[in-house]
Structure 1
């Protein structure tokens, strides 16, 4: 079980984590929360219907990590948008879609990161031997979402566009300043892969 998720009887997943691993995942989840930003403030409307239809941003984020986490819905950077008019129409559709969906997407990603932090904080004091984290099916799905977001964020900082590029990362010399981030990226990928397998019927 060390370093890999395994299915629990009746659903859910478990993984053994040591103190360092717990600290790394928690720190990354906190950083992800800070990047995504706070939720609605105290001034949010009392009317839940009004909040449901509250508009979000229409422009893509400037930060490249947030751009990866919240991509445009109607544009593909690898595809020719066609004529200037078609490109303008794509931008307009993307802006409209973003306006009505990004707030919900941010809330979902925020809740997933918070679920990771809460579940780690609820672990009994791990001590030198670490602890076994046990997740329900719902918590497993939230962890899966958060692990995916963490890998997207780190991959963006490492300029990884395609998963096939990860082969080169294994060969980075130890003195390369990207090495710690690369190791975290690859380790989270292993966790993500084994967690996916626990959720498959």
Structure 2
């Protein structure tokens, strides 16, 4: 990936290699599908990643938490799905080439939110609860997942830095 940079028109852009595009598209698609499952009524308590995406507003009060979810889950899940979809669409490309992503402010915000959601899902799958946790890395697959988790932090940081430049 070539880091995000601020363009003269106020947009930000970065270039992603084909392998990076494949990884981000796959993870954004999965994250969007997970959010959509909540929107469609999936049981939130059965999947730790879904719990991380849509945490309890009142963890010590199940009744208040259920009432809050009744009014907010659909809209929140829909926004998370749309953010993930925007990431996938912005990486769409013909052939197997690198992709330049250009984002306006709204697109950049959607990307930041989608990357956060993807990292929440990966963190839940790895058993990462807070900063500094290494996660449960016990084979090549989880080691790769951890490497992607860290790389996405770099992508997110690059985007934030580009947005902060005037």
Match of 2:70 among 87, 96, 99: 99
- Identify the residue that residue 50 of structure 1 maps to in structure 2: none
Compare the two structures and name the one with the higher helix fraction: 2
1:63 is displaced (CA, Å) by: 0.8
Q: What is the alpha-carbon distance in structure 2 between the residues aligned to residue 71 and residue 39 of structure 1?
A: 12
- Identify the residue that residue 48 of structure 2 maps to in structure 1: 64
Q: 1:87-166, aligned counterparts within 5 Å?
A: 87=60, 90-121=61-92, 123=93, 125=95, 127=97, 130-166=98-134
Kindly indicate whether the alpha-carbon contact (under 8 Å) linking 1:39 and 1:107 is maintained by their aligned counterparts in 2: no
1:40 is displaced (CA, Å) by: 7.5
Q: What is the alpha-carbon distance in structure 1 between the residues aligned to residue 62 and residue 73 of structure 2?
A: 15
Q: What is the alpha-carbon distance in structure 2 between the residues aligned to residue 39 and residue 102 of structure 1?
A: 7
- Check 1:92–1:40 CA distance in 2 against 1; reply closer, same or farther (3 A cut): closer
Kindly indicate whether the alpha-carbon contact (under 8 Å) linking 2:33 and 2:81 is maintained by their aligned counterparts in 1: no
Structure 1: any 5+ residue segments left out of the alignment? Answer: 42-55, 76-86
- Identify the residue that residue 194 of structure 1 maps to in structure 2: 158
**2:58 is paired with a residue of what secondary structure?**
coil
Q: Higher Cα Rg: structure 1 or 2?
A: 1
Is 1:26–2:25 an aligned residue pair? yes
- Check 1:64–1:114 CA distance in 2 against 1; reply closer, same or farther (3 A cut): same
Normalising to structure 1: TM-score of the pair?
Answer: 0.72
Normalising to structure 2: TM-score of the pair?
Answer: 0.86
**1:133 is paired with a residue of what secondary structure?**
strand
Moved more, 59-68 or 96-105: 59-68
Indicate the RMSD between aligned Cα atoms, in angstroms. Answer: 2.6
Structure 2: any 5+ residue segments left out of the alignment? Answer: none
Moved more, 8-17 or 187-196: 8-17
Q: What is the alpha-carbon distance in structure 2 between the residues aligned to residue 19 and residue 177 of structure 1?
A: 20
